[in-house]
Structure 1
């Protein structure tokens, strides 16, 4: 049974209690019913409660002519409540799903606007949670997807919080009517070609006619699944801790895991651990498209399989799996002249090289492996570079990126590889700081 609307302020305060020490609360304000009620509640609570600074954020998608009048409506509402408003215009990238594209643009604006120790509040409610559960169920989502929208999550340097997930749409409508609030009716909310609108207007009325408590029980199921996902996350952390051994090449700054530890797990635990590890790096494929992981895991001999994912690639080398993205997916090939070896040299898309100690006389060149390189080592004579890299267990994907220093056609040093990166008698070493641009983290 719905609770009275006059109980909403105390419930809202209880839900927001963990966030009372935030620097600011920003309300995602579309001007619709849900966000209008949330803004009104908070603005009036701020008169009697010590709350973080309130402000509103309106995202203008520009998808329909009617929306051009919405920023002015939002401004008038905020002015009446004494709350500042920021209007952000976004470009929606049209694709297969306009709903998804608009959501991505909106959350991109939220991410940009939320500063450190700030909280962005959105007004999704219990009915939205039930719709999300059914929508994802029809798309074949797993436990994580079926756990619905989380009450809170990290958003850039701040947090996103949904304080109305235990409130029904009917309660919000009652509050709005009681307080004579005005709000925007988005015409697109009636367009049943959009999946969520179809569920809201066509499916849920039928469900609730037969099962009046359907929304409540579905939201309860989402909460159970959220708890189950928490347990899966705990298991993933245990399994990843076992696979997070120290590597001789941690200095590359690339995420990696020990393959043998993962392979010893059941197939389900492998997928669970990898999904948890990769979640911050790339969108994951659905359960029918994990053959890339199996091919990588089961490869034998000298094979160097690659599993290509949305934002990068998973490589296997030297008994580990490695995540590569950004400029690591390219292969530097240009020759770079190093006229003053006493000064660090920036390499195009490949970090920085520098000498410590007394740098060798120039002019020098930085080149990359083409095959057939030979290097002279004290007491060993001339040795094939490929064999030297094999001896030191250099991962295959790194070899084409290693800066090689030449002088007058002679290979002097290989940056970053112990035993090949210096001259003991000359008193110098060649250091390489690999590229550390965005590795796909989000």
Structure 2
């Protein structure tokens, strides 16, 4: 078994990109074997091999476990780092998923630039992951389970043991008399993965002895298919994305093959840094886009994201914070903080510096209430803001979020820094000042 582990680790290590190396070290059987195996390789030590332990603080013995992990690393002459996290109990994710998320976040924060962190996931873990994903209705990307190498924070996540069974790692640990930590939570069937490991997988193996290897092999085949679909999704997204990256031509998205529609949507949202939807929410988006008339404004929301259709485009953004209907402020020209995360309104000089002393004339700032109009040029007719917004392609949900600047008589002078009326132009040119809106969030631009 010692030779077998080396035969797995040496070529995998040689194929890695350059960069320092760390092990995600829980102190359990699997990570103890991985750390011990890598510590025996000069090539791993040459990369500055170190161990990173995340203490979840979920058990009274967690401090002692951290100390034991530190002693194990010291016995191997390996640098050791420990990170303490507090796992939220009421996140809605469940304790298992919340702990995993906190652990990954802590590891990513601890990693150095281009550092590669090795995880001790093995073939049994891979089989369990495939079954969990299958039971949760995952697509090809999920059923492909864990990649041997992927981006992870500012570094990489590396899983070199996916071809080895848990039994093989146990044999190695016993042969070398490793002293690992026994986590009692691993025996609690309330956690989904433990239920599969303790109850379901043993039954499958009794009927199909090669179940783990077969499921893991299927994951390898699905991974190849998922990679192909992802490459096709990237090409399709480039063809149907609008000039504004936050937009997508919805008819072309609906016309994509079934195998591409969902991956394209998810890739788009990932690139925008927005949370992804459930399958139910994807189905609802397809239904609304397919059935809503041209005069409708379909919208599908989920925590952290919302998709809205306007004309031929779907717009993706974070949920909009509504502007208070009664918000109306007098303004002396100095920087004014706007409500609903809409940033700051300023008057600036020719050098771009914000006005620091108050104007003699008091202005007012509010938001759209309906029926407003603006005279763009001296002698011309007033134009309804509704018409200006439509011509500029500003989506309806953005129109009520544009700050309006009025004089003391209620004459509309400017719409944010998009349009200056003739009266506003005369006033601000006389003052040698311009209007600047500095929003804190994405906003529509005329013509976008």
TM-score of the two chains, using structure 2 as the length reference: 0.85
For the 8 Å contact 2:333–2:347, the answer to whether it is kept is no
**Distance (Å, rounded) in 2 between the aligned partners of 1:403 and 1:133:** 51
2:440 maps to 435
Question: Residues of 2 paired with 1:345 and 1:288: CA distance?
Answer: 39
Distance 1:288 1:387, change over 3 A: closer
Alignment of structure 1 residues 31-50 onto 2, 5 Å = 31-46=27-42
Query: How far off is 1:133 after superposition?
Result: 0.8
Q: Could you tell me how far 1:325 is from its partner in structure 2?
A: 0.9
Q: CA deviation at 1:380?
A: 2.5
Output aligned runs, 1:310-349, within 5 Å: 310-325=303-318, 328-331=320-323, 334-340=327-333, 346-348=337-339, 349=341
CA distance in 2, matches of 1:52, 1:345: 53
Change (3 A) 1:419 1:235: farther
Could you say if the C-alpha distance between residues 158 and 298 of structure 1 is closer, same or farther in structure 2, counting changes exceeding 3 Å? Answer: farther
Corresponding residue for residue 14 of structure 1? 11
1:152 aligns with 2:149: yes
Specify which of 20, 27, 48 is matched with residue 23 of structure 2. Answer: 27
Aligned residues of 2:229 and 2:259 also touching (Cα < 8 A): no
Any unmatched runs of 5+ in structure 1? Answer: 438-442
What pairs with 1:89-168 in structure 2 (closer than 5 Å)? 89-94=84-89, 95=92, 97-168=94-165
The structural deviation recorded for 1:29 is: 0.8
Q: 1:160 to 1:420 in 2, by over 3 A?
A: farther
Equivalent in the alignment of 1:411: 412
**Is the alpha carbon distance of 1:288 and 1:393 closer, same or farther for their aligned partners in structure 2, counting shifts above 3 Å?**
closer
1:49–1:303 Cα change, 3 Å: closer
- Aligned with 1:219 (options 212, 216, 219): 216
Q: How many residues align?
A: 423
Bigger Cα displacement from structure 2, 425-434 vs 262-271: 425-434
DSSP-derived class of the 1:140 partner = coil
Displacement of 1:393 in angstroms is: 1.9
Structure 1 residues 162 and 330 mapped into 2: Cα distance closer, same or farther (>3 Å)? Answer: farther
Q: Which moved more, 1:145-154 or 1:110-119?
A: 110-119
Kindly indicate whether residue 414 of structure 2 is the aligned counterpart of residue 423 of structure 1: no
8 Å contact kept, 1:318–1:394: no
Matched, 1:193 2:190: yes
Of the three residues 226, 230, 243, the one matched with 2:227 is: 230
Are the aligned partners of 1:332 and 1:400 in contact in 2 as well (CA < 8 Å)?
A: no
Mean Cα displacement is larger for which, 163-172 or 6-15? 6-15
**Residue in structure 2 matched with residue 241 of structure 1 by the alignment:** 238
Give the match for residue 373 of structure 2.
Answer: 374
Aligned partners of 1:428, 1:264: CA distance in 2, in Å? 50
Counterparts of 2:392 and 2:329 in 1: how far apart (Å)? 26
Q: Kindly provide the CA deviation profile for residues 172-222 of structure 1, in whole angstroms up to 9, marking residues without a partner as x.
A: 112212222110111121122222122212222222233222111111100
* Structure 1 CA distance for aligned equivalents of residues 80 and 311 of structure 2: 54
- After TM superposition, the score normalised by the length of structure 1 is 0.86
Residue 65 of structure 1 corresponds to which residue in structure 2?
A: 60
CA distance in 2, matches of 1:177, 1:324: 53
CA contact (8 A) 1:5 1:171 kept: no
The answer to whether structure 1 residue 290 and structure 2 residue 271 are counterparts is no
User: Does 308-317 or 106-115 show the bigger shift?
Assistant: 106-115
Residue 272 of structure 1 and its aligned partner are, at CA, apart by 3.1
Look up the match of 2:445.
none
2:296 is the alignment partner of 1:303: yes
Name the structure 2 match of 1:278: 269
2:393 is matched with: 393
The alpha carbon displacement at 1:165 in A equals 1.3
How much has 1:129 moved relative to structure 2? 0.1
1:242–1:261 CA contact under 8 A, matched in 2: no
Shift of 1:75: 1.1
How large is the RMSD of aligned CA atoms in angstroms?
A: 2.8
Gapped runs of 5+ residues in structure 2?
Answer: 443-448
3-state SS of 2:274 partner: coil
Partner of 2:246: 255
Separation in structure 2 between the aligned mates of residue 92 and residue 109 of structure 1, nearest angstrom: 11
Change (3 A) 1:39 1:335: farther
Q: In the TM superposition, what whole-angstrom CA distance separates every residue of 1:150-171 from its partner, at most 9, and x where no partner exists?
A: 2222222222222221222122
In structure 1, the residue corresponding to 2:46 is in which secondary structure?
coil
Q: Does 1:86 align with 2:81?
A: yes
Paired with 1:429 and 1:300, the residues of 2 have a C-alpha distance of 41
Whole-Å separation in 2 of the counterparts to 1:39 and 1:268: 40
1:295 CA drift (Å): 0.6
